[in-house]
Chain A
C-alpha cells in the first residue's frame, strides 16, 4: 500500500521555484530520510503532504486521499521544525485536545495521554503551561503530541532540534520503536548521523528536484557515511539537479 505520493508535483512561490516535477511514492512501513541543502524543497514537500498548500502542478496523495481532505490525516503524527506551542495552555490540556482531535475518547484517550507522558519523560510537567517549558522540554511535548494514539504515519521535521544529548538518544529510541512497529516515517533532518541510524530509505532533494531516491545501502559506496554520500551527491549535482545514475526517482 502506498502511504504517500507526489506525482509530477511542481510548486512555485511567485517566480521562485520550490519544487520541480517531483515524483515520489512511498510504501507504507518505510522509514524515509528526506534530505537536502537549505532551500532544497523539503519543507515545501511536507507542507504539500499536510495540505498546508496546494501544488502549482501535479497531484499529492496522502493515504490515497487529497491532503485537503481531513480524513487523509487520520492516523498522522506531525512534529514541525519550528514548533510553536500555545503558550498559555497546560501540557495536560494540550495533549488531551490533540488526542481528542485524533479521534480518541474516554478511557482510551486517558491511556494514550498517560502513555506518551510517561514515554517522553514529562510526568512532572503535566500541569505546567507550555510557554514555561524550556526548548528541550517543549520539543519533548511536541514529540508527545506527535506520538499520541500510535499514528500510522509520522512526519518529523528536524526532530532533534533543541534536545540535549539525552533527549537525542530518547528521540532516537522513540523513532526506532515506531519503525519497529511498522509505522511509516518521513524524517526531514540535517543531522545525517541520526538519519543514518533510523532510516532505511533516503530521498535527497536539490534545487527543487529529487536527485536521489533509494535504499540507504544502495546509496553508500564502500566505507562511506551518509554525510559523505550526501556531500558527493549534492556537490556532483550543483547547478545540474539531475537524478544520480543508479538511483531511482
Chain B
C-alpha cells in the first residue's frame, strides 16, 4: 500500500475521531461563539461618536472595526486549531490506541501527518466557514470589499497549519495544558510584536529577532487586510512574508514528523 493511501485512510479517520470526540465538538462550539462575537461587533446602526471633541461617523469606522473583528476572529480560530491539534496525536498515545495502528505497515511520519491533517481538516473547515460568514457580515453591514477578507482566510489557513503543527509537537512531550499555554504565549507574543512593528515600528533586539525570523502570523494577516485601511503591502513584502510563513509551516510539520519518529511508543 502506498504511503499516500495510508495517509488518506488515517486522515479521514482522524477527522471522524475529532467529530466523535468531545474536543472536536467543543472546538465547533467555540467557533460558533466566534461567529456570534463577529455578529455582535458589526451590529451597530448609523450615528456618530464624539472623540476628543471631534465627531466621527460610525459608518466610517467600518474600515477600522472590520480589520479588528476579522483579525480577532482569525486569531481565535487559529488558537482553536492549536487546541484541536494538541489533542489529536497526544490522546491516542495516552489512551494507548495508537500502537495498534502503528503495528500495521504504517510509517511514523504517515501517522503523525494524518493526525495533523485530520485535526486541520476539522478546524479549517469550521474556521473558514466562520470567517466567510464574518466576511459577508462586514460586506453587508459595513460595506467592506470582501477580497482582502478572502486573502485573510487563506492566511488564516496557513497560520492554523503552523500553530497546529507546533501544538501537536509540544503535546508529545508536555502535558496538554502546558503545551496549550505555550502556544497561546507564542501566538500572543508573535502577533503583538508584528503589530507593534507595523504600527509604531517599536523594536529591540529580541522583538527584532521575532519580527525577522519568527512566524509572521500577525504580519500576514495585516498585509491581507491592509487594503481596508491603507495602500497595502508591496509585492516584495508579500513575497518575503509569504515565503517565511510557508517555511514555518513546512518546518513545523517536519519537526513534528521527526519528533514523533524518535518517540518511544507504549506497547
Contacts and interface: CB of A to CB of B under 8 A. Distances in A.
A85 B1 contact: no
Given A101-B101, A103-B1, A88 B21 contact: yes
A73 B97 contact: no
B97 A71 contact: no
Interface string A137-180: 00000000100000000010100000000000000000000000
A139 to B, nearest CB: 13
A199 B126 CA distance: 54
Given A97-B13, A101-B106, A84 B264 contact: no
B15 to A, nearest CB: 13
A70 B99 contact: no
Interface stretch (A23-31, A32-40, A42-50, A216-224): A42-50
A155 B264 CA distance: 19
Given A47-B265, A52-B266, A102 B100 contact: no
Interface string A45-84: 0110011111000000000000010111110101011111
Interface in B78-127: 92, 95-97, 99-108, 110
B17 interface: yes
Given A80-B267, A88-B21, A97-B13, A50 B100 contact: no
B6 interface: yes
Contacts of B96: 80, 82, 84
B9 interface: yes
B20 interface: yes
Nearest to A84: B96
B267 A68 contact: no
Given A52-B264, A82-B267, A84-B97, A73 B103 contact: yes
A73 B105 contact: yes
Interface string A91-134: 00100011011110000000000000000000000000000000
A102 B17 contact: no
A192 interface: no
Interface residues of B, number: 30
B111 to A, nearest CB: 10
B97 A103 contact: no
B265 to A, nearest CB: 4
A71 B3 CA distance: 10
Contacts of B100: 78, 80, 83-85, 98, 145
Please classify the interface of chain B as helix (H, G, I), strand (E, B), loop, or mixed, using the class held by over half of its residues: helix
A241 interface: no
A239 interface: no
Contact of B104 (A85, A101, A155): A101
A89 interface: yes
Contact of A74 (B9, B92, B105, B267): B105
A51 B106 CA distance: 11
A101 B6 contact: yes
B13 A80 contact: no
Residue in A71, A80, A84, A103 with the greatest tally of chain B CB atoms within 10 Å = A84
A50 B13 contact: no
A86 interface: yes
A19 to B, nearest CB: 14
Given A84-B97, A85-B97, A102 B267 contact: no
B267 A47 contact: yes
Contacts of B3: 70
Contacts of A46: 267
Given A53-B264, A97-B13, A76 B103 contact: yes
A43 B99 CA distance: 13
A163 B175 CA distance: 35
B243 to A, nearest CB: 33
Given A52-B264, A101-B9, A103-B1, A68 B108 contact: yes
Given A47-B267, A74-B105, 17 more contacts: A43-B267, A46-B267, A47-B265, A52-B267, A70-B106, A78-B103, A80-B99, A86-B95, A88-B17, A88-B20, A88-B21, A93-B16, A97-B13, A98-B100, A102-B104, A103-B1, A155-B103
28 contacts: A47-B265, A51-B102, A53-B264, A70-B3, A70-B107, A70-B110, A72-B105, A73-B103, A73-B104, A73-B106, A78-B100, A78-B103, A80-B96, A80-B100, A80-B267, A86-B97, A88-B17, A88-B20, A97-B13, A98-B100, A100-B9, A101-B9, A101-B10, A101-B101, A101-B104, A101-B105, A103-B1, A155-B103
Interface of A: 43, 46-47, 50-54, 68, 70-74, 76, 78, 80-86, 88-89, 93, 97-98, 100-103, 145, 155, 157
Interface of B: 1, 3, 6, 9-10, 13, 16-17, 20-21, 92, 95-97, 99-108, 110, 261, 264-267
